[in-house]
Amino acid sequence: MIHPDLLAILACPDSRQPLGLADEATLKGLNDRIASGGVQNVGGVDVTAALEAGLVREDGQVIYPVRDDIPVLLREEGILVGSAG
């Protein structure tokens, strides 16, 4: 999906921490929360569509969506992994 050379240079736009591909368990947990409703991105917009892929920050706290194989690395598009908003 994302070329390893590109993945190696991607970083969180906010903290500059490295990013890695989110594993299936992380995506499932987040998508379950999205399906239940009440999930917002950092910009305060409701997230209603399940993520097919995502890039998770090194500390595991924020995930950035990957849409049509394109990482969306805008600060406001980040989703907190462990909470509802």
Q: Model pTM? A: 0.90
Q: What six digits make up the tokens of 47?
A: 């997230």
Percent of the chain with pLDDT over 70: 96
Nearest to 55, CA basis, from 15, 14, 11: 11
Q: pLDDT value at position 83?
A: 54
What pLDDT does residue 32 have? 96
- Which residues of the chain have a pLDDT value below 50? 84-85
Please tell me the predicted confidence (pLDDT) of residue 3: 86
CB–CB of 65/57 below 8 Å?
A: no
Confidence at residue 84, expressed as pLDDT on a 0 to 100 scale: 46
